[in-house]
Amino acid sequence: MKRKTRVKPDLYQEVTNKIIKKLEEGTAPWRCSWSRYGMAKNYVSGNTYRGINAFLMNFLPAHPIPYYLSFKQAKDLGGHVKKGSKAEKVYFFKSYYKDSDGKSISEDQATQLQGTGEKIQFIPFLKSYSVFNIADVEGVEFEIPELKAQQDHDTNDVCEAVIAAIKNPPQFVEEDHNGAWYSPRHDKLNMPPLGSFEGPEEYYCVKFHELTHASGHVTRLNREGITGKVKRDSAEYAREELIAEMGASFLCAATGIDVGHVTDNSAAYIASWLKRLNNDKTLVLKAAAGAQKAADYLLNVER
């Protein structure tokens, strides 16, 4: 009997397919409504999920309380995962190293050899592990924080405080009342007046989008999509726009803005992203990493 060969899953494509599925349903996952309990996190470590995992763990699973833990963590707490529960995947990069002869070496060995001038191969691999929502775990008395009263969507002070604290900000202007834009050449960010928007959520969501673009300026993160000569129909342009969309979502989450009803779900908008994602399975992961870095910069978060 011929033994079947196990095919290794393509995790890049797996992540991209999850995003594509939502786009095909007419929803842009980077414009999600964050839970009233905050962003998704590991219940045991308390660490919030970042990058692409922030979108996958907050938006795709339909869990009211976005706290997760691994099978082992549940067991260590004296509980167990309910039979038939569906696991969610957390994705991360693991690095491998090879010397000039192609022999696998450790990270410490690679560091030592780099000091000698020897050429070292750095090979990043996307990997994943499974976690379960606390709703799928029995036998544990979970401590859930009390919910704070919902604000009346008036987050102007919070947003303005974040914007005022940005190190080396662009020049803010109101030169054009018909559009919001960022000019890398002049390092200038234009916004129409707040009163021209339906509400503060729409205004700040758009401003955060443009601020994410501004984070890529040569004096800040020096991102290719902003500093390079990027053509409008290029992959670099698509990546930069996706970074800005995702970055705005991170900033909205950080300031408590619910952007669930702000999303532009026009057919042309959704179709354009489907085309890009179908052509490049790594685009969404690269953009999520860029968006996280941009949000960290704008929020003065050091990593």
Taking only the tens place, the pLDDT of each residue in 247-261 is 998 998 888 886 655
Residue 262: what pLDDT?
56
Residue 1: what pLDDT?
45
Contact 171, 158 (CB under 8 A): no
Rounded to a whole number of angstroms, the CA Rg of the chain reads 22
CB neighbour burial string for 203-233, b if at least 16 within 10 angstroms, e if fewer: bbbbbbbbbbbbbbbeebbebebbeeebeee
Reply yes or no on whether the pLDDT at 3 is more than 70: no
Residue 266: what pLDDT?
56
Lowest pLDDT segment from 96-100, 202-206, 261-265, 299-303: 261-265
Q: What backbone phi and psi angles, to 5 degrees, belong to 16?
A: -60, -40
pLDDT level of residue 22 (50, 70, 90 thresholds): confident
pLDDT level of residue 5 (50, 70, 90 thresholds): very low
Averaged confidence pLDDT in the chain: 85
Distance between CA 101 and CA 171 in Å, rounded? 52
Contact 215, 223 (CB under 8 A): yes
Higher pLDDT, 262 or 92: 92
Residue 153: what pLDDT?
41
Lowest pLDDT segment from 63-72, 166-175, 201-210, 226-235: 226-235
Reply yes or no on whether the pLDDT at 148 is more than 90: no
Amino acid at 214: A
Reply yes or no on whether the pLDDT at 6 is more than 60: no
Reply yes or no on whether the pLDDT at 131 is more than 90: yes
Please state the pTM of the whole predicted model: 0.76
Q: Count H helices, E strands: the chain? A: 10, 10
Query: Domain locations in the chain?
Result: 7-140, 151-303
Element (H, E) at 114: helix 107-114
Q: What angle do CA 282, 288, 293 make, to 5 degrees?
A: 130
Taking only the tens place, the pLDDT of each residue in 264-288 is 555 677 778 888 888 888 889 999 9
Compute the Cα dihedral for 21, 230, 54, 212 and give only its sign.
negative
Taking only the tens place, the pLDDT of each residue in 27-70 is 777 766 556 677 889 999 999 999 889 888 877 766 888 899 99
